[in-house]
Amino acid sequence: MTRYRTYPDLKIGNSHIRPRRLRQNEQIRALVQENSLQKSDLIYPMFISEKGTKKYDIPSLPGISRIPFDDLLHEIQEIQNLGIKGIMLFPVVDPSVKDPTGKESYNPNGLMQNSIRKIKENFPNILIFVDVALDPYTTHGHDGITNDAGYVLNDETVEALCKQSLSYASCGVDFVCPSDMMDGRIGAIRSALDKEGYIGTSILAYSAKFASAFYGPFREAVSSGARGLDKKTYQLNPSNSREAVKEALLDIEEGADMVMIKPGLPYLDIVTKVKNEVHIPVTIYQVSGEYALLKNAALHNLIDEKAAVYETLISMKRAGADLIITYYAKWVCENIL
């Protein structure tokens, strides 16, 4: 029979080093907390639908809705009242305006263009980030223009993205956010913006956007028809990290003002690696699938939602993210911050 011996004179490590002294009450824990989550860290993604539509609650994203153009100002007022400084806009366009080349994306009277103008006229202090990609506007659901074999053409797509970015800049957008992962598009967009006098329009580049399984609810939300679509020829391989850092460095060299890693939680290591290599703000996108997992677990009482959401978001700050794009932004401001 094994007997356990005691050592009354044995000291635990160095008796002068007791890390638990700094955890013994809430006041001390707050004093030495290394990272914090602020309202100013959050950007709220919004899905905007056409004039004459009704608010639509997205089944796969509990608590998130498509906001009709006609109700836009009420929604923005609520966001501003919560203390959120930035919003990211995504269009839900009528299928009748979609085509293989996504030319509706640079229609001067398109849904996004009218939305940007409307928001800026009424809420000039709200920062507007607008996704730049063709997938909401194409009949095939790809982020770019395809050839007859279905392969996404890089340079032809970049030309369209420049037109889209210029169209948004003319309406007063603060940040254009290319999410397509085409080669060279940051440099081309920066050059086009500067040439037309939009030197104050910033670029938040989706620099490391991975071909992820966590985008499903988003594709339903914007009705892109892209669920199950293979985008691996332009989005990053989830197995790679050096490639992600390379993409971020290239985008900065081409003129990006901020870079983004997407998705969030599965790629915290990428956030840290990029953060260690760059000297501009790093953004992370907690994508629709991440939100849906947390929300559904909370709805089934499997997790403490407040604790789990905070823990998830603070992990992103701890990894090095300066800003977080999250569908939880409003909920966090209402329930945590």
Of 336, 318, 165, 327, nearest in space to 255 by CA:
165
Active-site residue, selected from the candidate residues 98, 209, 317, 330: 209
pLDDT tens across the length of the chain (337 residues): 555 565 555 566 666 788 999 999 999 999 999 999 999 999 999 999 999 999 999 999 999 999 999 999 999 999 999 999 999 999 999 999 999 999 999 999 999 999 999 999 999 999 999 999 999 999 998 999 999 999 999 999 999 999 999 999 999 999 999 999 999 999 999 999 999 999 999 999 999 999 999 998 887 888 765 556 899 999 999 999 999 999 999 999 999 999 999 999 999 999 999 999 999 999 999 999 999 999 999 999 999 999 999 999 999 999 999 999 999 999 999 999 9
Nearest-angstrom CA–CA distance, 183 and 97:
27
Nearest-angstrom CA–CA distance, 243 and 289:
23
Nearest-angstrom CA–CA distance, 193 and 162:
8
Of 248, 264, 269, 279, nearest in space to 329 by CA:
264
Nearest-angstrom CA–CA distance, 143 and 156:
12
Active-site residue, selected from the candidate residues 262, 273, 275, 295: 262
Query: Which helix (H) or strand (E) is 284 found in, with range?
Result: strand 282-286
Q: 108 and 155 in contact (C-beta within 8 Å)? A: no
pLDDT attached to residue 218 = 87
Nearest-angstrom CA–CA distance, 209 and 232:
11
pLDDT attached to residue 225 = 57
pLDDT attached to residue 216 = 86
Q: 45 and 90 in contact (C-beta within 8 Å)? A: yes
Beta bridge partners of 258: 204
pLDDT attached to residue 12 = 62
Query: Does a cis peptide bond (omega within 30 degrees of 0) precede residue 263?
Result: yes
pLDDT attached to residue 157 = 97
pLDDT attached to residue 46 = 97
Question: Is 55 a residue of the active site?
Answer: no
Q: How many residues comprise the chain? A: 337
Residues marked as binding?
247
Residues marked as binding for Mg(2+)?
247
Question: Is 120 a residue of the active site?
Answer: no
Nearest-angstrom CA–CA distance, 183 and 30:
44
Query: Domains of the chain by range and CATH?
Result: 36-335 (3.20.20.70)
